[in-house]
Amino acid sequence: MSVPTLLKSVQSTLCRALKPYYVGGGTFQQIRRKKRTFRKPLDPKHAEELPEFEYIGEQSRPDTLLYMWGVADHGGLGRASFIRPDRTKRQQRLPFIQHPHRVEFGEYHRVSCGRAHTVMLTDTGQVWTVGNNSYGQCARPIISEEDYSRQPVYYRISALHDINISNIECGQDTSFFLSDCGVVYSCGWGADGQTGRGHYNNEPSVGPIIGDVEGEKIIKVSCKADCVLALSDRGEVFGWGNSEYHQLSSVTDEMQIHTARRLHLPGVKKKVVDIASGGTLCLLLDEDGQVYSWGYGPLGRGPRVTYAKDPTVIPSTLFGQNDITPDAKVVSVWSGVNHFAAINSHGCLFTWGKNPGGCLGQGHTSDQCFPLRVAIAGQVLKVSCGVDHTAVMVREIL
């Protein structure tokens, strides 16, 4: 066999053997080999983008998580990037969040916020205040023309030093302190009698509420604006402050009362176990899980019902009671100034009312005239409703 014939035979054999990788015309030009895939080292900057897998042991317990939603402009949702976005990470400013957003905090303490002030209860029982003190709501002397933004003052309330405070509550510009003995103390704005101290003046000093609550063991105080409700361990409800929308009409025809009065609640036959007082209407919950509302505003019974002088039941079916979950009943109620929330026995959250910035967590900004469930991944334990945003504590689902 001649040399040219031999070369041609070898070339033909190679072409057949390497056909998938052979490129070219009549002459051999390039043989492509299959590339081997090598995994690049993990870039720490991209670690957060990778999926996470968690293996749960027998001794594992669900964590308690915090979710928030609503108006973000004032920084109340707990994430700086909402109002100060990092352009290098392609973040955008978000004026509000319509869906539950998880926030990571460290330790939890009792905190309550008013319109422009905050009250904090430490685990050692100390009570601190900070913020606007124009009406004495921080329990310290009022200083004329004080600049609260430039010189924030954290003030420990020495008047409560020898009293075991178990809970705190803030109205719009009023502060309340509940002792473990069931005595309620107050300070701050009193123009509507909401300090419950027997007058309509502002009170920069802390003192006990007077009236029908004296001698009673109060277990909860609720106030988001100027009307105050208190609940005793016997299930009796007391009220004082603003009654412009007939929240306290069972005991007075006046628009304001400055002394705590025991409320008469027609139609409520069972023991009351929870209360909530908003800007213009009130809620209560009885031991059977029935929710009652009265006053003026989004009462939770549809768009045509905006006023009720006496407590009226909101249908239980609106809180998840149906043929599939017949045992579902409401276990707690909560109030903002103009929006409201309830948790049922299955840990489901229902909200309704005014909806600025999507504070109802329903995925839109339209007002809601009856309770509607919020889609959230976990069992809701506790709710806090602000003016235009909402926070909830959630136990995660294993």
Report the distance separating Cα 4 and Cα 294, nearest Å: 105
Token look-up 């600049």 returns 147
Closest to 273 measured CA to CA, from 283, 263, 284: 284
- Per-residue confidence (pLDDT) for residue 99, from 0 to 100: 73
Closest to 341 measured CA to CA, from 352, 331, 330, 355: 352
Token look-up 């604006």 returns 225
- Per-residue confidence (pLDDT) for residue 390, from 0 to 100: 85
Residues constituting the chain:
398
- How is residue 134 written in tokens? 């124009």
- Per-residue confidence (pLDDT) for residue 31, from 0 to 100: 41
- Cα atoms in the 13 Å half-sphere on the side-chain side of 44: 0
Helix (H, G, I), strand (E, B) or coil at 218: strand
- List Cα–Cα distances, 99 to 60, 78, 317, in angstroms: 28, 14, 24
Q: How far is CA 165 from the centre of its chain?
A: 23
- Cβ proximity of 220 and 173 under 8 Å: no
Contacting residues for 317 by C-beta, under 8 A, at least 6 apart: none
pTM flag (> 0.85): no
- Could you tell me the mean pLDDT of each successive run of 10 residues in the chain, 398 residues long? 55 49 38 48 60 55 66 57 64 71 57 83 86 93 82 86 94 96 98 98 97 98 97 98 96 96 95 97 98 97 95 97 96 96 97 93 94 93 86 81
The H or E element that residue 8 is part of is: helix 3-17
* CATH fit for domain 109-264, picks 1.10.240.10, 2.130.10.30, 3.30.390.50, 2.30.38.10: 2.130.10.30
- How is residue 239 written in tokens? 């009220």
Report the distance separating Cα 18 and Cα 29, nearest Å: 12
- Per-residue confidence (pLDDT) for residue 141, from 0 to 100: 94
Closest to 336 measured CA to CA, from 381, 275, 298, 279: 279
- For residue 270, how many other CB atoms are within 10 A of its CB? 12
The H or E element that residue 227 is part of is: strand 227-232
Beta bridge partners of 237: 231
- Per-residue confidence (pLDDT) for residue 317, from 0 to 100: 96
User: Domain locations in the chain?
Assistant: 109-264
- Per-residue confidence (pLDDT) for residue 82, from 0 to 100: 62
- How is residue 319 written in tokens? 């809180």
- How is residue 99 written in tokens? 């869906």
